[in-house]
Amino acid sequence: MFSYRHAFHAGNHADVLKHTVLIATLQHLTQKDTALSVIDTHAGAGLYRLDGDYANTSGEATEGVQRLLDTPFDQLAPALQDYLQVLASFNQGNKLRVYPGSPFISHSLLRPQDKMHLFELHPTDSRTLAGNIAQLDPGKRILIAQEDGFTGVKKLLPPPSRRGLVLCDPSYEIKTDYLRVADMVQDALARFATGTYAVWYPIIARQDAHDLPRRLKTLATKAGKGWLHATLTVKSSKMQSAALSATEDEPSKRPGLPASGMFLINPPYTVKDKLKTALPQMVKLLGQDKHAAFTLESGQ
């Protein structure tokens, strides 16, 4: 149950997509003075060393964020510039040694009146997360729970300020995660209809992965809420079946994730325009074969 470790994948193309969208979303939501609550249902360890054994074994950051860093900054789309500037704030000099996960990216954009609630069930990552967060001296602004985020989020909705962002990006290592994501979003919308919900998911050769965005569209439509769906494909998925049979002990044999998506409900209206220029550049810079592509659609 606890074999997945994001340290192998930090800074890969999926992180580029997820965190570019997260930053664009938070930049808009923090424009209002009212306090914002950010809930991260699967927070991970928070910080990852790109010069450590895990990252060096997989080399996924080389095919991901490093390609953006190798591009002249002024040639990047504004959303990608914002992404790299956030990463730079966690590093000294021009070399990217530390990759911030979603909790630290969110924290860097939040204000004194805002709060974060972080859930992480993996025992090792939860302890590491607590240690990393302690460096921030966050006081009561950040609460960490070694708990199942799918159920833990229920007690936090709606937040006192009635303004919130819920980020849900489980590993999907367990097949039932796909259904649990949809169930969580359905329950959350009933509790807090005006919240913004951001769901990351892998696009792999599994029917559940293709059904999830359709389920989320249906939930948003039935609730009368707007939605935004962005996907990034960097290569063919023909080798994905081999990836599904690999183990953590043999990460070098994994062909890597071919594509992923971000689905937002109640998205800030500014995010779509930012992605219109950022996604084509992601395809150009991160694409690994002729199958590289993106999609961007919205509704309501």
Indicate which residues carry an active-site annotation: 169
For residue 8, the 8-state DSSP code is G
CB-CB contact of 261 with 201 (8 Å) = yes
Residues annotated within the binding site for S-adenosyl-L-methionine are: 19, 42, 102, 120, 148-149, 169
**What CA–CA distance (Å, rounded) separates 191 from 33?**
23
Residue 260's identity, in one-letter code, is S
CA-based torsion, 260, 262, 49, 173: positive or negative: negative
Please tell me whether the peptide bond between 158 and the residue prior to it is cis, using omega within 30 degrees of 0.
Answer: yes
DSSP 200-246: EEE--SSHHHHHHHHHHHHHHHHHT--EEEEEEE-S-STTHHHHHT-
Residue 86: CB atoms within 10 Å:
21
